[in-house]
Copies of this chain bind each other. A is one copy, B any other.
Amino acid sequence: MNPDTDVLVREMGLRDGLQMISTFVPTEAKLAWIRAELDAGVREIEVTSFVPPKLIPQFVDAEEVTTRAMEMEGLTVMTLVPNLRGAERAFALGVHVVDFVVSVSRTHNLKNVRREREASLEDFKRIVEARDAAGLKGRTRLAAGLSTALGCSYEGRIAVDEVRRCAAFLAEAGAEEIMVADTVGYADPKQVREVFQAVLAETGALPVAAHFHDTRGTGLANVSAALDCGVRRFDASLGGLGGCNFAPGASGNIVMEDLCFMLDSMGLRTGIDLAKLLAARAIPAQHLGAASLSGALARAGLPNHYQTATERAAATH
């Protein structure tokens, strides 16, 4: 990847989008959704979460979805794990990327995974050891996510220094990527610059990813600010799925299609075919209802005479 021209956009909808939706999406539909996005050029997809199925029945098929997604050629399969036990399930399948998440907000971490933040951070060390003991070093990448890094429903603003210190801990412990998340959609571009600059100063050559929610409309503005800081990995979800706490149509994660349009329009290459990506909306729409999906590009369509970044690059050579 060339940081001047290439951006990695990752689909979170099957995990972050579905985790709060009680309607069970059939396993075959999940796989069709993954396949449709892979066919559109999405190369990295978080396909499920290894949480106890009793807590989130939506992920009762975590093993099957993961195994079958891993059979799809060209796809990097990512799964979320909330703790060592979840990680062990992922390691048993040899998942390509294990995404461990801890909340920077102590209160949020307690509410979310019922343990102290420091206990979760220490857990990551054990996850690294377990990965290495399973002989997966160099095969299973360990990503570490900082949830509520840009604000928390319980604690409000989070001190930048807390984010920086958690990032440093995880990098030191062996994380191969740091993901900084605005879990509740509180962030603004100025804050994004402050937080990402602090994290990037701490993490050196380690890739840093941004995970924004569009709860208050600032999602793509925050992406633009993170791009300015040099971030080139972004999480999103098809149709902005993930906003079921609010009214239908309220977006959760930033909308994948709108993100890809903005990046492409800026001349950054995602490798994703916008028309195919838009067509993929039909799959979750069929199971969750079209009103569950938001997205400006889906309503308005591409600009007339639109040339993709690749077409424009070709035209100037």
Contact = CB atoms under 8 A, between A and B. Distances in A.
Given A221-B221, A249-B249, A157 B296 contact: no
Nearest to A228: B228
Name which of A250, A267, A296, A304 has the most chain B CB atoms within 10 A of its CB.
A296
A190 B266 contact: yes
Interface in A181-227: 184-186, 188-191, 214-218, 220-221, 223-225, 227
Interface in A241-299: 246-247, 249-251, 255, 258, 261-262, 265-267, 295-297, 299
A303 B190 contact: no
A297 B216 contact: yes
User: Taking chain A's interface residues, is the majority helix, strand, or loop, or is none over half, making it mixed?
Assistant: loop
B261 A216 contact: yes
18 contacts: A151-B303, A156-B304, A156-B305, A188-B262, A188-B266, A189-B227, A190-B266, A190-B267, A215-B300, A216-B262, A216-B296, A217-B261, A217-B296, A218-B258, A218-B265, A220-B220, A246-B299, A247-B299
Given A217-B220, A246-B299, A249-B249, 19 more contacts: A153-B303, A154-B304, A155-B305, A184-B303, A186-B303, A188-B266, A189-B266, A191-B265, A216-B261, A217-B258, A217-B261, A217-B297, A218-B220, A218-B265, A221-B221, A221-B262, A224-B224, A250-B296, A250-B299
> Top 9 closest A-B pairs, CB basis?
A156-B305, A217-B296, A217-B258, A188-B265, A190-B266, A220-B221, A221-B224, A221-B221, A189-B224
